[in-house]
Amino acid sequence: MLLRLPTGLHYPITVTSLLKQPGDTIEKDGALFWYTYQTTVTEGDGLGNNIEVKRRFPARFESTIDGEIVKWQIQKGDVIDEPVNVVEIDEPCAHEIQFGGLCAECGKDMTESTYNTEITDSMRAPISMAHDNLTLTVSKGEAARVEEDAKRRLLASRRLTLVVDLDQTIIHATVDPTVGEWREDKQNPNHEAVRDVRQFQLIDDGPGMRGCWYYIKLRPGLEEFLQNVAEIYELHIYTMGTRAYAQHIVDIIDPTRKLFGDRILSRDESGSLTVKDLQRLFPVDTKMVVIIDDRGDIWRWSPNLIKVSPYDFFVGIGDINSSFLPKKEDIGANKPQIEAKAPEQTNEHHVNGKTQEGAQVSALEQLVTMGGGDSPRLLQEQTDAQEETILHQVEDRPLLQKQKELEAEDNLAETNEVSSSIEETHESAKPRHHLLEDHDQELFQLQNRLEQVHSQFYDEYDKRRTLALGGRVAALGGRVAALRGEKVYSRDKDVDLKLVPDVKDIMPQIKRRILGGVVLVFSGVLPLGIDFQNADISLWAKSFGVTISSRVNARTTHLVAGRNRTAKVREATRYPNIKIVTTQWLVDALVQWRHVDEEPYLLPLHPDDRGEPLTPSELELETSMLSSADEDVTGPQWTQEDDAEDIFKSFGLDDTSPIGYDADEQAAVHDELKDFLGSDDESESDNESLLDEPSIGGKKRKRNEDTESGTDEEESGDDDGDDHDKQGSRLSQRIKRSYERNTKLREITSAPATGSDQASPDRPQTSAVEGESDSETPGTSSAPKADYPDPDDDDDELEREMLAAFEGGGYDPHAEADPAAEDG
């Protein structure tokens, strides 16, 4: 181990002597070398005054570990300015595996500390890799070795790792005692649905720690699913339930422990109350890990995740272990089916962490959302919230209440059809409506998706190995050797690990082929105030290559609407290529991993919602005008939000930098702008000519006065303009030349002039054509007449006004009033 100097020394230090030689034994807190350092101290000068002087002091550096000196990295006389490695020491034990604060190999107490201790030895093994024990920790190096061994074992058996969630993924659980009563009552219409429900009791669980019965419904096809998937995946359980709860579930689904073994991680060992993290189980590498869960938000939408449709057998119960998790977003995808069977669902009593519908977010939920980890206080609050959830189910019996509501509806419908009788009343006392039905087929589709991921992973792995072993010839030679019974050796024992593909690359490739190219807009799906780009349904869809947009245009392919009669629905009807579908279309496509046909999911449109279709020319024009910079879609595009921090840093700014200019900066900007306006490629004397010839600046007012009096004095102004044209800018010269061009229209009957534009009686009326100058007559000057303002004058007037504004800082209302009066 290399021993490094701490940061708290008085640098620079000078090494004066080495106290140990290579091969010597050193104990913890033993001296390694002497050094000196210089610092400022306060001393008396003998006259009662304190003065600060620099003094050099000797000190010795002591070892923080036991072992044998291998090699020095420094020598006598070295001046060290910063922390560096000073000596290599061979430790008798590296303490890479620790259990309960003790080294698992040498038994040393890892929590010991002395005056010389900066970091305790327990930090040498900070990683917890065991599923069921937080006290067993290993070092990073040991964790890497363990995971490498696990990957070799999986590659040898051509399997991957599958992390399985429990609640609403492969099972559904409730503590409503009504389920137990329906199991015993063969006359109850729900008896057939709950006949195979399993049950167990947790003695130290429930309200008042009096024990509680849990009723577990296995997802249809679970046993066959686990058996088949276990052949190509190594199974792990990761649940937000307690360890006791998880152990009882495994006893039901895997009584022999052949599928899961002891690979069970519960919230008691998770380390967080709000999120799940693969690093808890696989801290080094997750290339071969796949997740199946009904919630993507608690995994932060990991690319390793396959999100499954939630299993809701017990209507309205939800996840009994999610009372401390963030509230699940409800997009209403499954509402039509449930409402058709049980319209009263909107008034149900929610028990998945909420006391009543519409209730305020509890303080506990806010604390847990902001916090996390294994804080004892948060664990206790989470336990209290869980007990409250269980208490509501046990006492309120939500399933029984729903059954009674359905019976009341049946009785009401029956009363409206036929008159009631005593016999019918007696029969109606017995429940007749099936509240619980089970037609779930999710696991059958999920198995196909897992097989697809596994197949593509190992196809890519085999392709890489073939290339690494020398191509087809080497691969053929290996097969021939295998047929002869000869053992084929790899040139590199680690070649397999180096060529392992990454599930985080494989799964996105598969999913993006499904809905790639789909550009959709939501309407009436997400609540107001929700960031539509970061909503759960949006993040889920974007993992399949979908582009989410906020407005309907020619690029939109689908409008996913929660209801009709919305503005976006009306707008989408104008585009013939946009399919207006329900939310269930998107959910089914994401769950089934295929682009399902839109026809059965088309939204019924109201006749008033149909807008006037766009013509092909309008569609072509809109398509050509659209660009990626104008479209607020997600993808590998540049956005101001993404690069704002880089832009700030490029200008030397941070979050605390002041916004705007100070007085000096503003003056500098004004000077720069004044220099820019006064500069010209042809001549640098424009500013001087403007400032030295005030008569030029007053030409407009003079021309206006002359026009009103009907005089011809502005001819002299034109002469001045001709003289100044040599000094004007290139732009003014070009404009003036355009006015001086001869027109081929010689004889035009002009309309009578009005106002100030009327011709003077002293001179003949001239013709005018819009956009062209007056026609010249032979023998006359080519200067523009009074009917047209001199463009050079306008150019000079603009420059004069801008210079006056920047120099004087004032505003002259006549500067704009006079040109406005001239233009009428």
pLDDT in tens, 384-404: 776 777 777 888 888 888 888
Element (H, E) at 377: helix 376-396
Identify which of 1, 97, 64 has the alpha carbon closest to the alpha carbon of residue 108.
Answer: 97
pLDDT in tens, 550-573: 889 888 999 999 888 888 999 999
Q: What is the mean pLDDT of residues 466-476?
A: 65
Element (H, E) at 107: none
How far is the CA of 357 from the CAs of 317, 346, 354, 524, in angstroms? 13, 9, 7, 20
Identify which of 701, 663, 180 has the alpha carbon closest to the alpha carbon of residue 393.
Answer: 180
Active site residue 793: no
Q: What local confidence, expressed as pLDDT, does residue 29 receive?
A: 87
**CATH number, domain 144-307:** 3.40.50.1000
The count of other CB atoms within 10 Å of the CB of residue 405 is 18
**What token pair was written down for 306?**
């396959």
pLDDT grade, residue 693 (50/70/90)? very low
Q: Is 35 helix (H, G, I), strand (E, B) or coil?
A: strand
pLDDT grade, residue 544 (50/70/90)? very high
For 140-149, 345-354, 698-707, which range has the lowest pLDDT when averaged over its residues?
345-354
- CATH fold of 514-620: Rossmann fold (3.40.50)
Q: Locate the domains of the chain by residue range.
A: 2-92, 95-143, 144-307, 441-502, 514-620
Active site residue 121: no
Q: For the chain, first and last CA: distance in Å?
A: 90
Which of the residues 167, 294, 609, 792 is marked catalytic? 167
**CATH number, domain 2-92:** 2.40.50.100
Identical fold for domains 144-307 and 514-620, yes or no, is yes
Cis peptide preceding 12, ω within 30 of 0: yes
Q: What local confidence, expressed as pLDDT, does residue 73 receive?
A: 93
Which of the residues 24, 90, 165, 795 is marked catalytic? 165
Decide which of 775 and 494 is more confident: 494
The share of the chain scoring above pLDDT 70, in percent, equals 64
Q: What local confidence, expressed as pLDDT, does residue 769 receive?
A: 39
Give yes or no for a contact between 42 and 108, defined as CB atoms under 8 angstroms apart. no
Q: What local confidence, expressed as pLDDT, does residue 61 receive?
A: 92
For 554-558, 602-606, 644-648, which range has the lowest pLDDT when averaged over its residues?
644-648
Q: What is the mean pLDDT of residues 783-803?
A: 59
For 84-88, 220-224, 260-264, 373-377, which range has the lowest pLDDT when averaged over its residues?
373-377
Give yes or no for a contact between 728 and 792, defined as CB atoms under 8 angstroms apart. yes
Can you give the pTM of this predicted structure? 0.64
